[in-house]
């Protein structure tokens, strides 16, 4: 074993034996058994697609064979289908610091962002600008363009850096949309402080929680956030492209108007009247009903989350990312060292990041790559151990030291990973 590349942070494990001891004492360790981890691999891509919970296949099977196959239309009532966007929203709410009646599970992140951005612009008549950050995951920016294109004089303005925020918070800004954790660098923003600044300028705040929910405690209501959206398939482990969620602060619910006015957002969806009348509460942000087979994945995973203490998640997340960064401190780590500025992933810049990631995958260490030069490693405290973080860092160092990533077979670029 090589010596550590740099002095470890205080409290960081100095050996693999230390990591084994930390795993033995880890209060979250029992949860690892809840996940069907891929065999013989260290999976550090849970920030892209979370792993399969052990209990999910059976609930999906029951949904398919019993609820659909035998129950058929009676399952709308008897299996509680009709309430799922609300009941699952209420189960998810504590993970993001929301009231149980402030969250709905439905649609995709992009569709939900479209709803809340349009609603936000309508709540600020006379203002026509949506402000975003150029480095946000692009679908948010594309959707902002799509929304502002529907408003006379509407425009999307992108900041090159958040340092510009105050200067760009002009009187035309209706709403600011930001990702709490940057999908590339792992930079964590101060949600409460930024929300307050945006509010002082008279604008509304929309947070994208895709890369933070399930990785750290979030306090939307305490921070006075107006709207939020997030996916369920990364840290929340609900399944590939599973239905997403949206948050609408209670104070906006009776007033906000979103344009995807489908029948499930109607005050009386089963009255079948020809004119739309929005439901009183957050229900007006429903459009149609999410696919039930996919909702089974959400149901199963949220059962696991009911047992989780997010303070423990955050503490372990910082320990895992800290350990990984300590062990690789000689590299160009772009994720901040300060705990309050990082999420649960570590990004390392390397000019040959693509083949290096492929060589790591061949060794069984699954990270991913984002052009032009970022290697990303996600740490998911429910199922990643300290020992895995240690071994993954060793693998990175060994791959770089050996030059094995220069092999021809690692140079081909795939479509998605």
98 alpha carbon, distance to own chain's centre: 16
Q: Considering 127, 234, 284, 342, which one is annotated as catalytic? A: 234
Q: Which stretch binds a second copy (CB under 8 A): 212-220, 265-273, 348-356, 391-399?
A: 265-273
What separation in angstroms does the CA of 38 have from each of 44, 145, 344, 357, 387?
A: 11, 39, 20, 18, 16
Q: Is there a catalytic annotation at residue 208? A: yes
Nearer to a second copy, 64 or 407 (CB): 64
Nearer to a second copy, 276 or 330 (CB): 276
Which position among 5, 23, 217, 263 is part of the footprint of a second copy (CB under 8 A)? 263
Q: Considering 376, 379, 383, 410, which one is annotated as catalytic? A: 376
Per-residue x/- track, 30-49, a second copy (CB under 8 A): ------x-xx---x-x--xx
Mode of pairing for the β-strands spanning 204-208 and 227-230: parallel
| Residue 253 is a binding residue for a second copy (CB under 8 A) | no
Q: Which of 84, 70, 416, 28 lies closest to 242, judged by CA?
A: 84
Q: Which stretch binds a second copy (CB under 8 A): 123-131, 192-200, 239-247, 310-318?
A: 239-247
Which position among 22, 98, 105, 109 is part of the footprint of a second copy (CB under 8 A)? 109
Is 36 exposed, middle or buried (CB count within 10 Å of its CB: 0-12, 13-18, 19+)? Answer: middle
389 Cβ partners below 8 Å, 6+ apart? 19, 320, 323, 324, 379
DSSP 51: P
| Residue 411 is a binding residue for a second copy (CB under 8 A) | no
Q: Is there a catalytic annotation at residue 247? A: no
CB of 296 to a second copy, least distance (A): 7
Q: Which stretch binds a second copy (CB under 8 A): 25-33, 107-115, 165-173, 322-330?
A: 107-115
Nearer to a second copy, 45 or 326 (CB): 45
Residue 383 known to bind ligand: no
Nearer to a second copy, 66 or 170 (CB): 66
Asked if 188 and 341 touch (Cβ cutoff 8 Å), the reply is yes
The two tokens of residue 124 are 């600020």
> Any idea of the CA torsion for 90, 94, 99, 102, to the nearest 10 degrees?
-60
Asked if 388 and 323 touch (Cβ cutoff 8 Å), the reply is no
106 backbone dihedrals φ, ψ, rounded to 5°: -175, 160
Per-residue x/- track, 110-149, a second copy (CB under 8 A): xx--x---x---------------xx-xxx-xxx-xxx-x
Asked if 114 and 146 touch (Cβ cutoff 8 Å), the reply is yes
CB of 135 to a second copy, least distance (A): 8
Instruction: Show contacts with a second copy in window 307-346 (CB under 8 A).
Output: none
Nearer to a second copy, 285 or 323 (CB): 285
Residue 138 known to bind ligand: yes
Q: Considering 26, 45, 208, 226, which one is annotated as catalytic? A: 208
- Whole-angstrom distance, CA of residue 160 vs CA of residue 171: 20
Residue 305 known to bind ligand: no
Residue 26 known to bind ligand: no
- Whole-angstrom distance, CA of residue 266 vs CA of residue 275: 9
Per-residue x/- track, 81-100, a second copy (CB under 8 A): xx------------------
- CA-atom Rg of the chain in angstroms: 22
53 strand-pairing partners: 35
The two tokens of residue 111 are 């569709």
**Distance in Å from the first CA to the final CA of the chain:** 30
Q: Is there a catalytic annotation at residue 376? A: yes
Q: Is there a catalytic annotation at residue 137? A: yes
Which position among 211, 234, 252, 266 is part of the footprint of a second copy (CB under 8 A)? 266
Q: Considering 137, 190, 197, 349, which one is annotated as catalytic? A: 137
- Whole-angstrom distance, CA of residue 285 vs CA of residue 288: 10
Q: Which stretch binds a second copy (CB under 8 A): 59-67, 92-100, 173-181, 201-209?
A: 59-67
CB of 315 to a second copy, least distance (A): 26
Instruction: Show contacts with a second copy in window 342-371 (CB under 8 A).
Output: 366, 368, 370-371
CB of 264 to a second copy, least distance (A): 8
Which residue stretches of 149-190 are H helix? 165-168
- Whole-angstrom distance, CA of residue 260 vs CA of residue 278: 11
Instruction: Show contacts with a second copy in window 167-226 (CB under 8 A).
Output: none
DSSP 308: -
What separation in angstroms does the CA of 298 have from each of 216, 314, 407?
A: 19, 22, 41
**Which residues carry a binding-site annotation for pyridoxal 5'-phosphate?**
110, 137-140, 208, 211, 233, 263
Q: Which residues are catalytically annotated?
A: 137, 208, 233-234, 376
Query: What residues form the annotated binding site?
Result: 110, 137-140, 208, 211, 233, 263
């Amino acid at each position: 074993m090589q010596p550590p590349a740099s002095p470890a942070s205080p409290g960081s494990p100095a050996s693999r034996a230390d990591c084994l001891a930390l795993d033995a004492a880890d209060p979250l360790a029992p949860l690892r058994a809840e996940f069907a981890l891929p065999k013989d691999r260290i999976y550090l891509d849970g920030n892209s697609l979370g792993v399969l919970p052990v209990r999910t296949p059976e609930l999906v099977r029951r949904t398919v064979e019993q609820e659909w196959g035998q129950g058929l239309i009676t399952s709308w009532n008897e299996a509680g289908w009709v309430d799922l966007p609300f009941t699952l929203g209420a189960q998810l709410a504590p993970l993001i610091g929301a009231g149980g009646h402030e969250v709905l599970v439905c649609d995709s992140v992009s569709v939900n962002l479209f709803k809340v951005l349009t609603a936000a612009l309508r709540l600020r008549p006379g203002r026509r600008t949506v402000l975003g950050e150029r480095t946000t995951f692009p679908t948010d920016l594309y959707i902002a363009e799509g929304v502002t294109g529907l408003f006379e004089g509407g425009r999307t303005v992108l900041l090159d850096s958040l340092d510009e925020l105050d200067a760009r918070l002009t009187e035309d800004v209706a709403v600011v949309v930001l990702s709490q954790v940057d999908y590339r660098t792992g930079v964590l923003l101060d949600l409460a402080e930024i929300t307050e600044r945006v509010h002082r300028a008279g604008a509304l705040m929309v947070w994208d929680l895709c890369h933070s929910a399930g990785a750290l405690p979030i306090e939307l209501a305490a921070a006075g956030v107006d709207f939020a959206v997030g996916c369920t398939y990364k840290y929340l482990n609900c399944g590939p492209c599973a239905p997403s969620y949206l948050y609408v602060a209670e104070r906006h619910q009776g007033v906000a108007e979103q344009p995807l006015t489908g029948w499930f957002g109607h005050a009386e969806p089963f009255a079948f009247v020809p004119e739309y009348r929005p439901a009183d509460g957050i229900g007006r942000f429903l459009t149609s009903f999410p696919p039930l087979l996919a909702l089974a994945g959400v149901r199963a995973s949220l059962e696991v989350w009911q047992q989780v203490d997010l303070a423990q998640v955050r503490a372990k997340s910082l320990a895992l990312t800290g350990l990984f960064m300590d062990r690789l401190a000689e590299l160009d780590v772009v994720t901040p060292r300060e705990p309050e500025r990082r999420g649960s992933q570590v990004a390392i810049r390397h000019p040959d990041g693509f083949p290096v990631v492929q060589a790591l995958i061949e060794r069984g260490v699954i990270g991913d790559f984002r052009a032009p030069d970022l290697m990303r490693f996600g740490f998911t405290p429910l199922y990643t151990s300290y020992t895995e973080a240690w071994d993954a860092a060793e693998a990175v160092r060994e791959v770089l030291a050996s030059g094995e990533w220069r092999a021809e077979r690692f140079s081909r670029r795939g479509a998605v990973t």
